C-alpha cells in the first residue's frame, strides 16, 4: 500500500518505524536509491520529508513503478502536500493529528512542582516534536529552576538558527528613559494585558505599537525597556536582510513568524521599518510583505507584541498608519527642557557622577534641540576631556563641550518639521505634554 501522511514533524512521526528513512539535507539522489532498494527487497518503508525527494516528475514516475510492483507498505511523511501529482493521485492521503498535548503525560511524570510543569508545557511550544522527548529526558535530573532555565536556553538557541531573527540582550529598565512619560505610562499599564485574566475581563490581546520620531530620542531604548517591563524576551526581525537572502521573502517571513509564535510571549521588534521601504527597487514587494505582516498582526492569537520604529513618515504606506492597525502610534520628539534635565541626570548617574554636583537646569537650557543620544554623547565627551587633562568632571567642562557641539536636528530640520506636522493629529505624543511651542517657528 502507498500512503502519504501529512504531519507537523515528519522525523518525529517515523521515529518508531523499523524501515525509517530521514531526509537529510540535499542528498536527494542517495535517499531515493536507498528507498528504491528497500522497496525492491519487499520491506516496508517510511520516509520523512518526502516532499523534498524529487527533482522532477520522471524520478517520481520511476519510483511509482517500483512501488506498484512491490508488496511492501510505503509511507511518505510530509509537512505539505507538495508532491508530484502522479503520487498524490494514487496514494491514500491521511493527516496525523499530533499536537503538543501528546507530551502532557510525559511532562506530568516529571519530578517538578505544579507551576514548573505548567511553565515547561508552555515553553515546549515551538520545538520540533522530534526534539521534545530528548529535552524532557535532559531536564529530568535538574531542580525546578535549572529545568526551566535549560528549556529557555534551548529555545533561544532555536531562535539563533533563524537567519533573520536575533535575540536582543536587555539591561535597561524604565528608570533609564528620561521623559517620554506618556509612552512609559502606556507600557506599564499594559503589563498584565496578555494574561487569561485580562482576556476574561474583556481586554483584547495587545497587537503592537509604532514609534515614529526624531533620531536618537529613545525609540530603540524604549523597545528594550518594554520587553524588560513585561518580562518578555526581545527578538529583532532583520527586515532589511529579509530582502537580501535570495530566498522567497514570504517563505522566510512565514518561517520566522512560526518560530516567533513558538517563542511567545515575546516582543517582536522591527527597527527602522522605512529603511527597507526606501530601498524598494522591485516595486511593490516590500509593501506586499508589510501587508501580510499587518494581516498577521490583526489575526494572531499568540501573545506576540510587534514594536516597529521609523524616522520618516513620507515613505510609509498609508495602510500601515491607518487607525486600528497598531494599538497606538507614538510620536517621539526632541526632549523638552524638563526631559533634558532627566536625561542629563540618567547619563551622569550611569557613569557614577552625582547630579547634584552639576547645574542641571543650566545644562538643559543650553542644549535646546539636542536629542537624548546627543546629550549622552556630551557627557561621554566631557568625561574624555576631563580624563585626558587628569581632572575631575566639572560643570565647566560639560558646558565647554555643549558650547562646541551642534545638534543634528539642524541638519534634519525639514524632516523633523514634516514629522511634527504629520503627527499633530495622527499620533500620540510620547511625552504627553502637547507642546505648542515649536522649534522651527511652525
The footprint of ligand ATP (CB under 6 A) covers 177-180, 213, 215-221, 311, 343, 346, 372-373, 376
Interaction between residue 31 and Mg ion (CB under 5 A) = no
Which C-beta is closer to ligand ATP: that of 84 or that of 179?
179
**Shortest Å distance, C-beta 371 to ligand ATP:** 6
Nearer to ligand ATP, 130 or 415 (CB): 415
Q: Which is nearer to ligand ATP, 294 or 307 (CB)?
A: 307
Q: Which residue is nearest to ligand ATP (CB)?
A: 372
Q: Which residue is nearest to Mg ion (CB)?
A: 220
**CA-based radius of gyration for the chain:** 28
Tell me the closest approach of the beta carbon of residue 223 to ligand ATP, in angstroms.
8
Q: Nearer Cβ to Mg ion, position 127 or 305? A: 305
Q: Which is nearer to Mg ion, 116 or 371 (CB)?
A: 371
Output the smallest distance, CB 32 to Mg ion, in A. 50
# residues near Mg ion by CB under 5 A:
2
Q: Which is nearer to ligand ATP, 180 or 363 (CB)?
A: 180
233 touches, from Mg ion, ligand ATP, none (C-beta below 5 to 8 Å by class) = none
The item of ligand ATP, Mg ion, none sharing an interface with residue 346, based on CB under 5 to 8 Å by kind, is ligand ATP
Q: Which residue blocks in 389-412 are alpha helix, DSSP H?
A: 395-404
Sign of the four-CA dihedral 371, 372, 373, 377: positive
For residues 126 and 258, give the distance between their C-alpha atoms in angstroms, rounded to a whole number: 8
- Using alpha carbons, select from 407, 212, 440 the residue that is nearest to residue 314: 212
Smallest CA-to-CA distance from 286 within 231, 244, 236 is with 244
- Residue 372 binding: pick among Mg ion, ligand ATP, none (C-beta 5-8 Å cut-off by kind): ligand ATP
Indicate whether 371 belongs to the interface with Mg ion (CB under 5 A): no
Least distance (Å) from ligand ATP to the CB of residue 218?
A: 3
Q: Which residues pair with 309 in a beta bridge?
A: 211
> What phi and psi, each to the nearest 5 degrees, are found at residue 279?
-95, 5
Centre a 10 Å sphere on the Cβ of residue 40 and count the other Cβ atoms it contains: 12
Phi and psi at residue 212, to the nearest 5°: -105, 140
Residue 441, C-beta contacts closer than 8 angstroms, at least 6 positions apart = none
Q: Which does 66 bind (CB under 5 to 8 A by kind): Mg ion, ligand ATP, none?
A: none
Q: What letters, b where the CB count within 10 A reaches 16 and e where it falls short, cover 183-215?
A: bbebbeebeebbeeebeeeeeebbbbbbbbbbb
Nearer Cβ to Mg ion, position 220 or 423?
220
Asked whether the beta carbons of 311 and 218 are under 8 A apart, the reply is no
From the list Mg ion, ligand ATP, none, which binds 98 (C-beta under 5 to 8 Å, kind-based)?
none
Residue 70 touches Mg ion, criterion: CB under 5 A: no
Q: How are beta strands 20-21 and 45-48 bridged, if at all?
A: parallel
Least distance (Å) between residue 371 CB and Mg ion: 11
Site string for Mg ion, 208-247 (x = CB under 5 A): -----------xx---------------------------
Render 168-224 in DSSP notation, one character per residue.
Answer: EP----GGG--S-HHHHHHHHHTTTTTSHHHHHHTPPPP-EEEEEE-TTSSHHHHHH
Q: What one-character DSSP code corresponds to residue 432?
A: -
Distance, in Å, from the CA atom of 61 to the CA atom of 78, rounded to the nearest integer, reads 18
The residues of the shown chain that bind Mg ion, judged by CB under 5 A, are: 219-220
Amino acid at each position: 500500500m502507498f500512503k502519504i501522511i501529512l504531519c507537523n514533524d515528519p522525523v518525529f512521526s517515523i521515529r518508531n518505524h523499523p524501515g525509517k528513512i530521514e531526509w537529510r539535507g540535499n542528498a536527494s539522489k542517495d535517499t531515493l536509491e536507498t528507498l528504491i532498494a528497500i522497496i525492491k527487497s519487499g520491506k516496508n518503508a517510511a520516509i520523512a520529508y518526502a516532499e523534498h525527494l524529487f527533482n522532477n516528475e520522471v524520478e517520481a514516475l520511476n519510483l511509482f513503478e517500483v512501488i506498484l510492483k512491490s508488496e511492501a507498505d510505503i509511507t511518505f511523511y510530509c509537512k505539505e502536500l507538495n508532491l508530484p501529482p502522479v503520487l498524490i493521485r494514487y496514494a491514500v492521503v491521511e493527516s496525523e493529528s499530533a499536537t503538543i498535548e501528546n507530551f502532557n503525560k510525559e511532562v506530568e511524570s516529571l519530578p517538578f512542582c505544579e507551576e514548573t510543569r505548567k511553565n515547561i508545557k508552555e515553553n515546549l511550544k515551538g520545538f520540533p516534536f522530534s526534539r521534545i522527548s530528548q529535552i524532557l529526558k535532559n531536564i529530568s535530573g535538574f531542580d525546578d529552576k535549572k529545568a526551566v532555565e535549560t528549556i529557555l536556553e534551548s529555545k533561544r538557541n532555536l531562535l539563533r538558527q533563524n537567519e533573520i531573527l536575533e535575540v536582543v540582550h536587555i539591561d535597561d529598565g524604565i528608570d533609564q528613559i528620561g521623559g517620554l512619560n506618556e509612552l512609559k505610562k502606556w507600557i506599564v499599564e499594559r503589563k498584565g494585558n496578555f494574561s487569561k485574566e485580562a482576556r476574561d475581563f474583556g481586554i483584547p490581546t495587545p497587537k503592537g505599537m509604532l514609534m515614529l520620531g526624531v533620531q536618537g530620542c529613545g525609540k530603540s531604548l524604549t523597545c528594550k525597556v518594554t520587553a524588560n517591563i513585561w518580562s518578555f524576551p526581545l527578538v529583532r526581525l532583520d527586515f532589511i536582510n529579509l530582502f537580501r537572502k535570495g530566498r522567497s521573502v514570504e517563505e522566510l517571513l512565514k518561517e520566522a513568524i512560526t518560530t516567533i509564535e513558538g517563542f511567545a510571549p515575546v516582543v517582536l521588534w522591527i527597527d527602522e521599518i522605512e529603511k527597507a521601504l526606501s530601498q524598494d527597487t522591485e516595486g511593490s514587494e516590500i509593501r506586499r510583505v508589510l501587508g501580510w505582516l499587518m494581516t498577521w498582526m490583526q489575526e494572531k492569537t499568540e501573545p506576540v507584541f510587534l514594536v516597529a520604529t521609523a524616522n520618516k513618515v513620507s515613505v510609509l504606506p498609508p495602510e500601515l498608519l491607518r487607525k486600528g492597525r497598531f494599538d497606538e502610534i507614538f510620536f517621539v520628539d526632541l526632549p523638552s527642557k524638563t526631559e533634558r534635565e532627566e536625561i542629563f541626570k540618567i547619563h551622569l548617574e550611569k557613569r557614577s557622577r552625582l547630579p547634584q554636583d552639576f547645574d542641571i537646569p543650566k545644562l538643559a537650557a543650553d542644549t535646546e534641540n539636542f536629542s537624548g543620544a546627543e546629550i549622552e554623547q556630551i557627557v561621554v565627551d566631557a568625561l574624555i576631556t576631563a580624563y585626558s587633562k587628569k581632572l575631575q568632571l566639572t560643570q565647566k567642562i560639560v558646558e565647554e563641550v555643549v558650547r562646541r557641539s551642534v545638534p543634528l536636528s539642524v541638519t534634519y530640520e525639514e524632516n523633523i518639521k514634516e514629522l511634527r506636522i504629520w503627527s499633530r493629529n495622527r499620533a500620540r505624543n510620547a511625552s504627553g505634554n502637547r507642546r505648542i511651542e515649536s522649534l522651527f517657528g511652525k
